[in-house]
Amino acid sequence: MSSLARRLRGIFTSPLPATTKTPAKTIKRSSSNNSTLKEMIDKFKKSSDSKRFRSRYGYYEKAVLTLAKAKKFSFIEDILEHQEQYNEISTEVFAVRLITLYGKAGMFEHAHKLFDELPKLNCERTVMSFNALLSACVNSKKFDKIDGFFQELPGNLGIVPDVVSYNILVNAFCEMGSLDSALSVLDEMEKVGLEPDLITFNTLLNAFYQNGSYADGEKIWDLMKKNNVAPNVRSYNAKLQGVISENRMSEAVELIDEMKTSGIKPDVFTLNSLMKGFCNAGNLEEAKRWYSEIAINELPPVRATYMTLIPFLVEKDDFEMATELCKEVFRRRWLIEPALLQQVLEGLVKESKIEEATELVELAKLKKFSITLELPSDK
């Protein structure tokens, strides 16, 4: 059975809710992968007969995303079109779920088709399904269509866009790199009597700061405060990225203090950004300090932290800490580049830390790494 089939088997053979009497059946192995997957799809569709199963959005999302990753779009179509026979399709919430899933799979044409067919399915279209269509547009990277939909559909269908609608439009323009257009949406919102919210500003802040437009990012930050929209941790993380990109590390540290004073607790991405900034600035002690803050604040670590700090430790010949972080990577079952691991080993050998190098090699072998350890000669 292929790795795809194994992943899907875990999804499609999930136990049905207690109220259903459909017994679990073992999927027989098949010489044809598509045949095996077809059996699983059929089982999933049969499970859909259970109303309680249909209420489990997680089952659908996992199945669709797994199939989309494997480019099995015909199976996604099979699963989702099957859902249209149930009474829930006349409820907009259920229909929005299907439109959203098509969007996440990158199948925008199917999402659009379903949206158009909702009246025939006795489902009223409101701003909710309109927003789902816009989101499907963004998720499917059909950015060239979204502005046209936004300008034409509301008037044709008698739908009034809300703040969520405009936020999706802002996000689309940001994804396109059309930052001026994204900013102009604020004027459109004002004309129709809508006020931008925290999501609006966070989307703009991320786009401008990450695009290197620090000065414009600062203007948006000031505008957010002028509109009495209080920043949250995501707002500060975006601003922090902008400050660090300008190599203003002292201001970055001050921003952390400002966050704490405002009662906003930094998250792992906040501290990770600061650590990375000091790595880029060549400041080992400060980089290590902010790495330790992650543990002090009892924040869940992320792989990016280690993949940023380990190369910097190697560069600074701190192979002792680099070794400890490599061991932590192994404990967490994360991936690490063999070339980076090899550099750590070579550094340990260079410092005659043969015992530590040998231990690291043994751990690497357990993780199926092909690593060589060349010991110095006794000449």
Integer Cα distance of 132 and 140 in angstroms? 12
**Tens-level pLDDT at each residue, the chain (379 residues):** 566 656 666 665 554 444 444 443 333 444 456 777 888 888 999 999 999 999 989 989 999 999 999 899 999 999 999 999 999 999 999 999 999 999 999 999 999 999 999 999 999 999 999 999 999 999 999 998 998 999 999 999 999 999 999 999 999 999 999 999 999 999 999 999 999 999 999 999 999 999 888 999 999 999 999 999 999 999 999 999 999 999 999 999 999 999 999 999 999 999 999 999 999 999 999 999 999 999 999 998 899 999 999 999 999 999 999 999 999 999 998 989 989 999 999 999 999 999 999 999 888 887 666 665 555 544 4
Instruction: Note the pLDDT of residue 373.
Output: 58
Give the per-residue SS3 of 225-267.
Answer: HHCCCCCCHHHHHHHHHHHHHCCCHHHHHHHHHHHHHCCCCCC
Instruction: Note the pLDDT of residue 306.
Output: 96
Give the residue carrying structure tokens 């149930």. 86
Closest CA to 343 of 367, 368, 365, 374: 374
- Residue 48 CB-half CA count within 13 A: 23
Instruction: Note the pLDDT of residue 248.
Output: 94
